[in-house]
Amino acid sequence: MAGCFCPPPSGFDTSVNHLLDGAMLLCGLAALVYGSDRAVTSATAIARSLGVSVFFIGVTLVAIGSSLPEIATSIYAAAYGAGDLLVGHIVGSATSQITLGIGIVALVSPLSLAREKVRTYGGGMMAAMGAMLVVLWSGDVTRIEGVVLALGYLGFVLVRYEHADYRDDVTRIADPNDVSHPLVWLAVGIGFVVAGGHLLVTGATALATDLGTPDYLLGLVTGLGTTAPEIAIAALAVYRGQSGIAVGTLFGSNITDPLFSLGVGAAVGGVQVAHRSAAVTSVAYMLVASAAVVAVFYHRERVGRMDAMGCLLLYVPTFVFV
């Protein structure tokens, strides 16, 4: 009938929501790729100008920058009393990085790391996770414990800067894409990485919810999203032959998150974990998986594709624990 308004089918709005959520996810991926490119290029330029190794830049500056989503989440979660969310977020992200992250990056190109660095930074990572396990044992992380964790991380970085051979791989830095104002571009790159990670998590989670995806898969999507910044930076770095930033970022983030991210959050409002047993079990598995990956790096001159597949398989049990 002329002039009659026919409403759209009932599924029309749902389809539009799916498209919007998918677009948000794609925008997040694009921001991650661009931000990763800027961060890697700028970090390399900074390392060259300061005479500091790209590994040290990766394990500190880039690792902290790409961990900003975890740090921000930790602060908000602690402020609102969401201790279980805070701990689960950190454990899920860290476990993904050391298993999926190393596995995916090693599939792009074989990785190698001097045994001295494996002992120092692999050991530092395991010590950080061990400290997280200790403070979570009672189910409560006090403000004082949070401050101690955060200061412990800052102390580790300071000691490594003062006493480590942080200049030892400067001569191996390749130039091709120097940038002007690298600090500005590093901030821009990290900003895009953080924003991209947020869009990716938000879009993927909303899309999964719209599609009726089970809760455990929602957790997986969120974990992958928060890990995506580190993996994106590391994969791009190793693709460019800058494996120092690649391994440094993944190892460094797994020192940053258990100590600094958890510590800052606990310092803000303390952390109370209702499901203490599950938290302790998941942190313990995170520590075991990390020890296995560190052992591979220590005993292998090059972590190749077969080792990468093993790292990827280590992620599977996190469906049970996280």
pLDDT-derived band at 200 (thresholds 50, 70, 90) equals low
Question: 63, 253 in Cβ contact below 8 A?
Answer: yes
In a domain, 1, yes or no: no
Contact status, residue 86 vs residue 239, Cβ threshold 8 Å? no
In a domain? residue 234: yes
* Position with higher pLDDT, 232 vs 294: 294
Is residue 272 helix, strand or coil? strand
CA distance 55 to 195: 25
Cβ atoms within 10 A of the Cβ of 213, count?
A: 15
Residue 244 included in any domain? yes
DSSP per-residue string spanning 2-59? TT---PPPTTHHHHHHHHHHHHHHHHHHHHHHHHHHHHHHHHHHHHHHHT--HHHHII
- Within a domain: residue 193? yes
- Residue 38 resides in a domain: yes
φ/ψ bin of 158: left (φ > 0), alpha (ψ from -120 to 50), beta (otherwise): alpha
Q: Is residue 112 part of a domain?
A: yes
Measured CA to CA, the distance from residue 45 to residue 191 in angstroms comes to: 18
Q: Determine what percent of the chain is predicted with pLDDT higher than 70.
A: 73
**Residue 173 belongs to some domain of the structure:** no
pLDDT tens by residue, 282-299: 889 999 999 999 999 998
171 pLDDT band, cuts 50/70/90, is very low
CATH of the domain at 103: 1.20.1420.30
What range does the domain containing 68 cover? 21-165+178-321
Q: In this predicted structure, what is the pLDDT of residue 295?
A: 93
Task: Tell me if 4 is assigned to some domain.
Answer: no
pLDDT score for 1: 44
How many domains does the chain divide into?
1
Greater pLDDT, 132 or 179: 132
**CA-based nearest residue to 54, from 285, 233, 276:** 233
Q: How confident is residue 173, by pLDDT bands cut at 50, 70 and 90?
A: very low
